[in-house]
Chains A and B, each alone.
Chain A
Amino acid sequence: MSNLDTAAIEMLKTVMEDDFAMLLDTFFEDSLQRIADLKRHVNDRDPEAFRKTAHSLKGSASNLGALTMTQLCLQAEEMGMASNLDGAENLVSEIDREYHAVSRKLETFR
């Protein structure tokens, strides 16, 4: 299921050179923080904050070539925009799972 654009990763490696490892660490750190934030916004019933966080996570996921994760974040963003958080809990779990799958794959490029 997890989908990673490996060509994009290779390009990132060329651009980042020695900083690529640090980029991965930063991505993991950012993503874990954002996923925790998403869960909190669902509990708080705060669709606007939910939308913004989903938007940010979508951006960095797309930069790392995490295609499926980007797709899921987009769904979350749209949910927030529609101010309807029904089923958001499941979606966040799905994002969380996809993130872990992607990060395992990313580790192999280190």
Chain B
Amino acid sequence: MTAAKPLTVLIADDTKTDRMILESIVKKEGHLVVSAENGVEAIEVYNAVRPDIVLLDVLMPELDGVGAARAIKEAAGDEMVPIIFLTSLNDTDSLVRCLEAGGDDFLSKPYNRFILQAKIKAFSRMRDMHTTMRKQRNQIQLNNDHMLQEQAVAKQVFDNIAHSGCLHASNVRYFMSPLAVFNGDVLVGALRPSGSMLILLGDFTGHGLPAAIGAMPLASTFYGMAHKGFSLSDILQEINQKLKSTLPIGLFCCATMVEMNFKRNYVRVWNGGLPDCFVYRAKAGTIETVKSSHLPLGVVGGKDFKDDSCYLELEPGDRLFLWSDGIHEARNASGEMFGEERLVSVFDKVSDGEVIFDSILNAVQKFAGEGERDDDLSLVELSMVTPNNIAQLQDHYGSTSARGLTEWSLSFEVKAGSFRYFDPLPLLLNIVQSVPSLRKHGGNLYTILAELYSNALEHGVLKLDSALKKSADGFLKYYELRTERLETTTGSVTFGIAHKLTSEGGVLTIQVKDTGDGFNYKKYQRKDGNLTYSGRGMNLLNDLCRRVEYKGNGNEVEIEFVWQDDH
């Protein structure tokens, strides 16, 4: 009868008779035997041979079994070495000492061959299991280390994308776990060139890397667009589209996005899937809620996605509170959730808006208990106060190219030789549209530029009379003359275009001057400066522009095109 796998068994006993008997029993099972006559020798042999199982007599000279067991267990470290004490001990104290020293079992005299064989088999199996477990545990540990390292790298990438934010603005307070992005929570904030602030708090479905992956395109889209002056709805549309097209179905992002306009004291709030956010009115000490009225980001694409936001007028000192569901779902020891009622009662208890933020955190942490600090907790407070570090924040963007072209002017002259071959309109339209908010007005801007240019070229430089076009013959004549005069003209058309931002949006000014004779515009001029004259596409221009003004002897015209934020 031999075991499947021979083990090495250490037998330590100072009585030679007993040792001999044990050696025979163990050898009969097919195992290898190493022996020791006292505790010190047992430790030496253990260290030299590293046996699989140790049989230790309790009473031995030099060092007894208890001392030897301690030393062997310590030397074994992580490895499992079953120690079986050999004894006929009949007092409990000694048994307890043996167990405390790391003894796993006892074998009493007289030795029974079958019992010993059964014990060795059982411990051999246990040892194998332990070895497997240790291997798996080490593998898990390794995998976990690896994952943490990957997370650190991923977090670094995310931070690099998100670093340009304005979350350190003096009117923003937030609490988020440092690794929140791996819980699916993401917070981004930026100032638009106009000085209004955009904040987005998102909560992706799931945890870990899948949740963090979605945060990357969200953050890069947000920052890329906010700094260029895109509006809340433009950014939401773009993020939604990006998430919808890149994330697998089932992965999406509940989010609240806020725009704060400090000059006109209003906020716009869009909530898709996050708990109601609270508006704290400082004077009255009351709260209003902004409910989620949209699907989360990344669920539906195209026209099904709705970007309409809730408009609220605030007063300086009012505060907005945003949160992911981590606060509502924080649980106490008995599994109960914090819930909205407790959240509301925090607001009821405070008399000073300043302390709400800390009161909420304290209440949640007290409720959940110290041991159960939830990593999912995300809280953001936005105060309706122009950040006192706004200049510094805006400077920060100014130094990056991300801000885009928003304040500029140009002068552009088309000279005689170019009229026949070159159309300046696409080039100018392209430059004008470098202002993001002007992009959606491309059609109107083209119309304006085209009208102004053809007036300047045809009536100014080429001195063609629009009255000609009233008859069919005249029409033909008009174009013959146009072609003819283009060959010989020496005139030019000069554009002066400028754009600047205002608190509501921006103003585009276009001046066009030609080398022609002009016309007597003064007789058509109304009190407001606009003309009642209906030639030269004036109706259209008056319709599209805030101001159309002729200057000089009528060879110069200046128009203003105004755009508003978010409409």
A interface residues with partner B (beta carbon < 8 Å): 8, 11-12, 15-17, 19, 22-23, 26-27, 29-30, 52, 55-56, 58-60, 62-65
Contact with A along B12-28 (1 / 0, CB 8 A): 00111110110011001
Provide the residues of chain A in CB contact with B18, threshold 8 Å: 59-60, 63
7 nearest A-B residue pairs (beta carbon):
A60-B17, A62-B110, A59-B109, A27-B17, A63-B110, A62-B109, A60-B15
Could you name 23 residue pairs across A and B whose Cβ atoms are closer than 8 Å? Answer: A8-B110, A15-B25, A15-B113, A16-B20, A16-B21, A19-B20, A19-B24, A22-B20, A23-B17, A23-B20, A26-B17, A29-B16, A30-B15, A30-B16, A52-B59, A56-B14, A60-B15, A60-B109, A62-B109, A63-B17, A63-B21, A63-B109, A65-B110
B111 beta carbon closer than 8 Å to chain A: yes
Cβ-based interface call for B520 (8 A): no
Check B88 against A15 for contact (C-beta < 8 Å): no
Contacts of A65 in B (CB 8 A): 110
Could you give, for residues 543-555 of chain B, a 1 whenever the CB lies within 8 Å of some chain A CB and a 0 otherwise?
0000000000000
Encoded as 1 (CB less than 8 Å from any A CB) or 0, chain B from 86 to 115 comes to: 001000000000000000000001110100
Contact status B25-A64, CB under 8 Å: no
Q: Are A26 and B20 in contact (CB under 8 A)?
A: yes
Other A-B contacts than A17-B24, A63-B110, A65-B110, 9 sampled, CB-CB below 8 A, are A11-B113, A16-B24, A19-B24, A55-B59, A55-B88, A56-B15, A58-B109, A60-B18, A63-B21
Chain A residues with Cβ under 8 A from B111's Cβ?
Answer: 63
Give the distance in Å from the alpha carbon of A19 to the alpha carbon of B28 in the complex: 13
A30 to B514, CA, bound (A): 129
A26 and B16 contact, CB distance less than 8 A:
yes
Give Cα A4 to B70, complex, Å: 37
B89 to A: closest C-beta gap in Å: 9
Closest to B87 in A: A59
How many B residues touch the partner, as a band? Answer: 10 to 19
Helix, strand, loop or mixed for chain B's interface?
Answer: helix
B17 touching A58, Cβ below 8 Å: no
Once the chains are docked, how many angstroms separate the CA of A12 from the CA of B40? 29
B279 to chain A, nearest CB (A): 83
Q: Chain B nearest CB: distance from A79 CB in Å?
A: 15
**Minimum Cβ distance to chain A for residue B277 (Å):** 78
Q: Which residues of B contact A60 (CB under 8 A)?
A: 15, 17-18, 109
What is the bound-complex CA distance between A14 and B307, given in angstroms? 91
Instruction: Name the one of B21, B28, B88 contacting A12, with C-beta atoms under 8 angstroms.
Output: B21
Complexed CA–CA distance, A27 and B21 (Å): 11
Q: Which residues on the A side are within 8 Å of B15 (C-beta)? A: 30, 56, 59-60
User: B24, A15: Cβ atoms under 8 Å?
Assistant: yes
Which of B17, B109, B113 makes the CB contact (< 8 A) with A30?
B17
Q: Can you name the residue of chain B whose Cβ is closest to the Cβ of A8?
A: B110
Interchain CA distance A64-B18 in the complex, whole Å = 9
Measured CB to CB, the closest approach of chain B to A55, in angstroms, equals 6
For A23, what are the chain B residues with a Cβ–Cβ distance below 8 Å? 17, 20-21
Write the chain B residue with the least CB distance to A51.
B59
- Provide the bound-state CA to CA distance between A52 and B21, in Å: 21
A59→B88 contact, CB < 8 A: yes
Cα(A59)–Cα(B57), bound, Å? 10
Given contacts A8-B110, A15-B113, A63-B109, A56 and B59 within 8 Å (CB-CB): yes
CA distance A11 to B116 in the complex (A): 14
Shortest C-beta distance, B114 to chain A (Å), equals: 10
Chain B residues contacting A11 (CB-CB under 8 Å) are: 113
A48→B88 CA distance, assembly (Å): 17
Complex Cα gap A64–B110 (Å): 8
Bound-state CA distance A52–B59 (Å) is: 7
Chain B nearest Cβ from A81, distance in angstroms:
8
Whole-angstrom CA separation of A51 from B16 in the bound complex? 19
Q: Is the CB of B109 within 8 A of A15?
A: no
* Nearest A residue (CB) for B114: A11
Enumerate chain A residues within 8 angstroms of B110, measured Cβ to Cβ.
Answer: 8, 62-65
Rounded to whole angstroms, the CA-CA distance of A35 and B14 in the bound complex is 16
Chain B residues near A17 (CB-CB < 8 A): 24
> 8 Å CB contacts to A: which residues of B102-154?
109-111, 113
CB contacts (< 8 Å) of B17 on chain A: these are 23, 26-27, 30, 60, 63-64
For A12, the chain B residues whose CB sits under 8 A away are: 21
